[in-house]
Amino acid sequence: MTGIPTRRLVLLGSTGSIGTQALDVVSRYPHIARVHGLAVGGSRPVLVAEQVLAHRPAQLVISDETRAAAVVDAVRQACSAAGVPAPEIGVGADAVVELAGSLGEGDVVLNAITGSVGLLPTLAVLSCGARLALANKESLVVGGHLVTEAAAPGQILPVDSEHTAIAQALAGVEHEQIDHLVVTASGGPFRGRSRGELAQVTPEQALAHPTWSMGRVITTNSATLVNKALEVIEACFQFDLPEDRVEVVVHPQSIVHSMVTLVDGSTIAQASPPDMRHAIGWALAHPHKLPGLAAALDFSTAQSWTFEPVDEDTFEAISLARGAHREGGGAMAVYNAVNEEAVEACFAGALSFLGITALIREVLEHPRRPRAQREDGVEGLLAVEEWARATARAQIAERAR
């Protein structure tokens, strides 16, 4: 494996599902990246201390000010016990953005934060010129044109199994040769259920994903199909196509990670056993390949891969997102913000499972919903988001009464 540059790496969200798998990849292939900085929310102090000792970053940022003291204590104690210097520590959302924008060309930032709070760090990475390995799909979905216009060609490498698959399938394909993209969906734990059956499900059942092990929000989003809806929009921006050229197909085995159909009628697929380390390693090392990164498919035993249309009548998340994307003007920021509030409310027992997408629809249909103008930039989007969160919270409180 000669010729792979060792990039400085900033990892935002290092204690999460993607973050821990990324550090695993870096431990196994230490010549591809040297960990320069880590950013975390702050809920897992012991894990942060372990990561600091294992990877010795120069910088550490804790975004949640109320949790920072516990993390700082754990890290300083661990470093002093090991006889190594502690990293420079920053606290707060601004410090995350500063760390995100602190590198430059030839370096890489993996944004693995959950939620639209990842948008400002994404914009900071793009303006500093580093490669952006983007797991935080919300920043692309919410930021849309702002993000794509800030990015240099090829600067964003998607860390999402579907989009990583499409990027690989598109190698050597010209944009005008694409007919449409086919994004695969496992269908989540409630595939095949009727709306009546969905009315009974609990948040705990939503957390039992059939094929992937992921963070709590994305797992719930997979059950409502909001995750697939966000991924349709992510694909539109990442690959510069309208939503009616991004098809969704249910593929319960999660082996074909997505496909591209070309104008000549040929479909190109990328397939591998479900393992996010494949997407992470692809984005960190691109265009190099990491030998043995993840298990390959084994055709020595019989297997079947099945595909079926998605039931958009039962799961309205996708059609709502398509409408919001066609409209633009911050409608996707509203969609995502309401979903983030609704998922929290569902876990708090204040909203039913079906209530999540119902609330997204209601807030999108609100007669006084504000629009973000393109010239208002990121502030306009954040204002729309704030309105959407407040409106969603008020409607949740109303329902609970």
Pair 206, 351: CB distance under 8 Å: no
Which has the closest alpha carbon to 142: 182, 114, 163?
114
Look at residue 96 and give the partner it binds from Mg ion, ligand NDP, none, a contact being a CB closer than 5 to 8 Å depending on partner kind: ligand NDP
Q: Which is it for the CA torsion 102, 279, 331, 222, positive or negative?
A: negative
138 counts as binding Mg ion under rule CB under 5 A: no
Closer residue to Mg ion (CB): 59 or 222? 222
136 counts as binding ligand NDP under rule CB under 6 A: yes
Which has the closest alpha carbon to 178: 125, 231, 131, 235?
235
Point out which span in 42-50, 193-201, 284-292, 319-327 binds ligand NDP (CB under 6 A).
Answer: 42-50
Tell me which of 114, 258, 339, 391 binds ligand NDP, using CB under 6 A: 114
The separation between CA 350 and the C-alpha centre of its own chain, rounded to angstroms, equals: 25
* Region 142-181 residues binding ligand NDP, contact defined as CB under 6 A: 160
Least CB distance from residue 216 to Mg ion, whole Å?
15
Which has the closest alpha carbon to 68: 46, 51, 92?
92
Least CB distance from residue 81 to ligand NDP, whole Å?
22
Closer residue to ligand NDP (CB): 228 or 322? 228
Point out which span in 6-14, 26-34, 178-186, 309-317 binds ligand NDP (CB under 6 A).
Answer: 6-14
What single string gives the DSSP state of each residue in 288-325? S--TTSSPPP-TTS------EE--TTT-THHHHHHHHH
The token pair at 101 is: 């924008």
Q: Which residue is nearest to ligand NDP (CB)?
A: 16
43 counts as binding ligand NDP under rule CB under 6 A: yes
Closer residue to Mg ion (CB): 102 or 238? 238
160 counts as binding Mg ion under rule CB under 5 A: yes
Strands 256-262 and 267-271: antiparallel
Least CB distance from residue 13 to ligand NDP, whole Å?
3
The separation between CA 10 and the C-alpha centre of its own chain, rounded to angstroms, equals: 16
For residues 104 and 266, give the distance between their C-alpha atoms in angstroms, rounded to a whole number. 39
**Residue ranges binding Mg ion (CB under 5 A):** 160-162
**Residue ranges binding ligand NDP (CB under 6 A):** 12-19, 39-44, 63, 93, 96, 112-114, 117, 135-138, 160, 212, 214-215, 218, 276
